[in-house]
Structure 1
Amino acid sequence: MTTPPRIARFALAFGAIGSLTTAVAPSALAGPADEPKPWVIDSADQWQEFTAGSTDVSFADGLAKSVEPASTMSSRVQTYDAPRKPKSITFSQTTAWNNWKEVPNVGTPDMADAPVLVPVKPGDYWLLARHRKFNGEKDGGYHAWHSTDMKEWTHHGPVCGKRERWVTTAEVVDGVFYIYYDFPNDEDPHLIIDRDLRDGKMGEDKGMAFNDPSHGSDAGVMREEDGRFHLFYENWDPINAKTHAWDSPLAGRAVSPDGIQPFKHANNVVDKRTTPTGKFGEYRHPHGTYKYEIHEPEQNAYGDWTSIRIGGQYYLFCDYDPVGDHMYVGRWTSDSLEKEYTFCGQFGNGHPDPTVGFAEGQFYLIQQRADVDFVSPGPWVGGVEARAGVDTTGDGAVDLWTGWREVKETYKQKEGFVRLVDRTPATLDVSDLPAGVGFQFEYRTAPVDGQTVNVEMDRVEWTFE
């Protein structure tokens, strides 16, 4: 394999590693030859045990973190009592999804308020937003724009009339659009089913889809393979939402079997409440006076949720309104809808009301700000190459190495689903290596144009036949 120019200078630094005598780690993972267990590095202790050497890599929080764009890591030789045939090595990075970068506004100047991205399939993308030119007129409200490339947008007219109907999220089932709007604003998601967004007419209004008892909807929806719809919504019960950008430290998940039958609360996916005082307060909303439980100290607030699943990992993006600071895009992740999500960072600057989706081979996070949106190639941070070696003689040193090969995750929208993306793991095929009693791997990272974050490796798994 020809070494890419940007990492050629690291090849010299690594060229001699295979010829060095390498310390041998205890064969703690050795198992019967007929039932080979994988060799896994997945914890702080394992990274420490199985690392022979590294440059510009720190080990913290169970991760191998590259502190510079160019870094190297070499494992110890893992030995076994009996020969085994290598199969593959899979590399996994942090799920924090750090590599978002700013791009100019993706939509058009006519789009206002919180947008909703609906990527139906490759080359078939919709944006729903309020039309600036129609505000205040009888056909005001949310309109639909279509694009085949996420660059040029064609206007197709209103999908939800009346300004007081605030579209927050949408899904698609077999070409039919399920458009959810808050009515009144910030509560009680309602459903419109629209079979043709191009006709400029509002579809069938099915009425209330979720009787939100907390008044704070601003929900995002996601449909899973089993057909169930999951609605992520703000819960205003523990906060004076009026003084916190109409957001909250508490968010719930409600579920409907088909997106039409009423949603029912299932669990809280975000819960960053501080200590309840047992006291209650009230605040005015344009649609009434709302009661809340007072918590101390003052709470960070989150809201305007949007969701996506990549492989088996779930992500939520939202408004993030920290105490004493301005607003950002916040991001959360979980490996299960039944668990609370983990906060994993922020980016941007200003009130986003975000929407997220996969289109044209990358991920888009589009916000209501008129100047800046964001794109990402995915959670995997690029610039990683790896190689693997085998000890066939049992002397504790590698006899044969593979060549250096790029490893990376790849992503593809799951056919028939708007917010589900399939993930192909970052796997190095090592089946061309002979059987052996010792195994070693190395990886190196290099700068990638436009990439502003470094690799944080979480897990390595070497499997055997």
Structure 2
Amino acid sequence: MKKIIQLSLMALVSIANSQQPKEGGSNWKIQTQKEWEASSDTAKNISFKNEQALSDSLVSSYKSIVKKYKKKKKARSIVFKQSAAWDNWKEIPTLAGDEIDNAQVFIPVKPGDYYLLGTYKAYQSTRLPDRTWKKSKYNVDDSQKGYHAWHSTDMKNWKHYGPVTNLRAKWVTTAEYVDGKFYIYYDFPNDQDPHLIIDEDLKDGKMGKDMGMVFPDPSHGSDCSILRDEDGLFHLIYENWDPIDARAHSFDSPLAGHAVSKDGIHDFKIMPTPAVDHRTTPTGKYGGFKHSSDKKPLQYEIHTPEQNAYGDWTNIKIGDRYYLFCDYDPVGEGIKLGYFSSDDINKQFVFGGSLGKGHPDPTIGFAEGKFYLIQQRGEVDFISSGPWVEGVEARVGVDTTGNGEINEWTKWQEIKEEYKQKPGFVRIIDKKPASIDLTDLPSGYGFSFEYRTQKIDELDTKVIMDEVKLLFK
């Protein structure tokens, strides 16, 4: 009996020890709500929810407890990570000016080498208030009525270089740049079946080689985006109209498909997981709606309740996170810009928020150290320093004596992420984390950190801190 009791006691001790926090490990990481709360000494205007530390005001502060260790440790750096929210956009005058029309496509090839594709207003017919059309005063043929190219070295001055598609290829939706060649994708007919033009020179005023249809979209409603990832794969995100009367929802949908190709030309394979899926409950009943490109009504399955709709996709990758921007047509509201994000392009994206108003049909890119979100309609475009919300300062302290009190602090330092376009990629941006080098801080038996936020411009975007890691040597 004693032996059994001893074994039971040993088992209980073993379980108890396994539940004790381990001795610091190699790093000190805070990334769950419990960890944020347990590690907090004082927090001003900060609440803990959704596994994060949320600043309830533009001015806030967080001070951690002193994390103690039995043996001396040498700190290497501290790294801060904010949430995936990207709400710090501000309005700027439209980049399109008086020349560029329709849904623009932005192609930032490399620093100082930027293209914007769109139709040339002077060559287009104009719809009058009585809904009749006024023809252009210029007598141009169909080769001039498609998309044209404009080029800039500074995102301020744009030079017109002439057509890159003809009238047949006028529904351009997205573009990539690969090894000196521009991949320009267009729908034909409108909203269906992405086609491709490959062009080596957008300044010669001539259309490149038309490769024909590259993705036979089975669902209608293309309006796709394209992103070539670091592994070379081309990811195409497209509208899927199967579950909605798209005509009644700005020709958008709650469902976005995802197809992948090795070269962006051949064998696009539809992935099993859609990029976006906000469908409601299917009823098993079907309806139909008309589209100008189809003689017969397009069939869709009726869902209930009414669904939010998204479309006209554009995408970008920052570090290890993917963002999708789109038209957002919420139930009972006007159309506006919306965005989604994911840390894996092969998983469903999560809705992040909205901005602006009007039918945006957006395009996004990085240039001159900023992110530009360009829309087809409206009097403004948008600019952002990046997902990181600025105005954050931090410092780290060390207990060198082992008495549980901090006796040496670093100076307060501004922390922020830094972004740089990845060479050879249009839509991939390298990210340098927001961090402080701690190699000059002496070794110690305990460590603490603080961060504080403040308003730095006209934006009212609050900081949401997702994770903090104190790294040791």
TM-score when scaled to structure 2? 0.90
- Identify the residue that residue 57 of structure 1 maps to in structure 2: 46
Q: 1:92 aligns with which of 76, 81, 88?
A: 81
- Inter-partner Cα distance in structure 2 for 1:250 and 1:117: 25
Match of 2:277 in 1: 271
Work out the CA distance in 1 between the residues paired with 2:85 and 2:167: 39
1:70 correspondence with 2:59: yes
Q: Which amino acid aligns with 1:71?
A: S
SS at match of 1:433: coil
Deviation by residue 1:324-382 (Cα, 9 ceiling, x = unmatched) = 10011001000001110000100111110000000010000000014110000000111
Residues 361, 376 of structure 2: 8 Å contact kept: yes
The 3 A distance-change label for structure 1 pair 27 and 71 is: farther
Contact 1:29 1:37 (8 Å CA) reproduced:
no
Say yes or no: does 1:312 pair with 2:305. Answer: no
Cα deviation for residue 165 of structure 1 reads 3.0
Shift of 1:28: 2.3
For structure 2, list consecutive stretches of 5 or more residues without a partner in the other structure: 1-18, 126-139
Q: Which residue does the alignment assign to 1:374? A: 382
CA-to-aligned-CA distance 1:282-317 (integer Å, 9 cap, x gap): 111112221111100110000000000000000000
The offset of 1:29, in angstroms, is: 4.1
Aligned partners of 1:253 and 1:268 also within 8 Å: yes
**Which of 358, 366, 382 pairs up with 1:350?**
358
Which stretch shows the higher mean deviation, 389-398 or 343-352? 389-398
Matching residue of 1:360: 368
Matches within 5 A, 1:13-24: none
| 1:93-132 equivalence runs, <5 A | 93-132=82-121
SS in 2 for 1:247: coil
1:313, 1:334 within 8 Å by CA — same for their partners in 2?
yes
Cα distance in 2 between the residues matched to 1:73 and 1:377: 24
User: Residue 195 of structure 2 aligns with which residue?
Assistant: 190
- How far has the Cα of 1:394 moved from its partner? 1.7
Aligned partner of 2:183 among 178, 181, 188: 178
Amino acid at match of 2:121: R
- Describe the SS at the equivalent of 1:458: strand
Q: CA deviation at 1:67?
A: 2.0
Q: 1:333 matched to which residue of 2?
A: 341
What do residues 12-56 of structure 1 show as CA deviations (whole Å, max 9, x unaligned)? xxxxxxxxxxxxxx982415xxxx421111011111100100212
Aligned 1:397-408 pairs, distance under 5 A: 397-408=405-416
* Inter-CA distance 181–221: structure 2 relative to 1 (3 Å threshold): same
Distance 1:40 1:27, change over 3 A: farther
Which amino acid is the alignment partner of residue 198 of structure 2?
I
The number of residues matched between the two structures is 436
Residue 183 (structure 1) shift: 0.2
Q: Contact (CA 8 Å) 2:145, 2:170: kept in 1 or not? A: no
Instruction: Supply the AA of the counterpart residue of 1:284.
Output: K
* Structure 2 residue 434 is the aligned partner of structure 1 residue 416: no
Deviation at 1:108, TM superposition (A): 2.1
Among 435, 445, 448, which residue is 1:437 paired with? 445
User: 1:163: Cα distance to partner?
Assistant: 5.4
Other structure's SS at 1:285 match: coil
Within 5 Å, give how 1:22-61 maps onto structure 2. Answer: 28-31=21-24, 36-61=25-50
Partner of 2:250: 245
What corresponds to 2:299 in structure 1?
291
Q: Which residue of 2 aligns with 1:427?
A: 435
Separation of aligned partners in 2, 1:130 and 1:257: 30
Q: Is the 8 A contact 1:59 1:65 kept in 2?
A: yes
User: AA paired with 1:57?
Assistant: I
Contact 1:27 1:80 in 2 (8 A): no
Q: CA deviation at 1:80?
A: 1.5
Other-structure match for 1:11 = none
Q: CA deviation at 1:449?
A: 1.9
Partner Cα distance (1:230, 1:134) in 2: 33
User: How far apart, in 2, do the equivalents of 1:420 and 1:53 lie?
Assistant: 38
Task: Find 2:165's aligned residue among 148, 160, 163.
Answer: 160
Whether contact under 8 Å (1:135, 1:141) holds in the other structure is: no
Corresponding residue for 2:459?
451
Identify unmatched segments of 5+ residues in structure 1. 1-25
Matches within 5 A, 1:223-238: 223-238=228-243
Matching residue of 2:135: none
Provide the C-alpha distance between the structure 2 equivalents of 1:449 and 1:333, rounded to a whole number of angstroms.
25
Report the Cα distance in structure 2 between the residues aligned to 1:447 and 1:37, rounded to whole angstroms.
35
Please tell me whether the aligned partners of residues 169 and 186 of structure 2 are also in contact (alpha carbons under 8 angstroms): no
State the AA in 2 paired with 1:411: Y
Q: Cα distance, 1:113 vs. partner?
A: 1.3
In the alignment, is residue 135 of structure 1 matched against residue 143 of structure 2? no
Indicate how the Cα distance of structure 1 residues 370 and 350 shifts in structure 2: closer, same or farther if over 3 A, else same: closer
Greater mean deviation of Cα atoms: 76-85 or 156-165: 156-165
Q: 1:149-190 CA deviation, whole Å, 9 max, x = no partner?
A: 111111111111115630000000122100000000001000
Percent identity between the two aligned chains: 56
- Alignment-derived partner of residue 5 in structure 1: none
Residue identity opposite 2:387 in structure 1: P
Task: State the 1:135 CA deviation.
Answer: 2.0
The CA deviation at 1:453 is 0.6
Deviations 1:400-451 (A, max 9, x none): 1111111110000000100000000001111111111111000111221233
Code of the residue aligned with 1:123 in structure 2: it is G
Aligned residue for 1:440, secondary structure, equals strand
Matched, 1:205 2:213: no
Tell me whether 1:280 sits opposite 2:283 in the alignment: no
Amino acid at match of 2:451: Y
Moved over 6 A (4+): none
Is the partner of 2:164 in helix, strand or coil?
strand
Residue in 2 that maps onto 1:324: 332
Are the equivalent residues in 1 in contact too, given 2:360–2:378 (CA < 8 A)? no
Q: Tell whether the 8 Å contact from 1:77 to 1:396 is kept in structure 2 after alignment.
A: yes
Q: Which residue of 2 aligns with 1:23?
A: none
Instruction: Describe the SS at the equivalent of 2:290.
Output: strand
Query: Given the superposition, is the C-alpha separation of residues 29 and 346 from structure 1 closer, same or farther in structure 2, using an over 3 Å criterion?
Result: farther
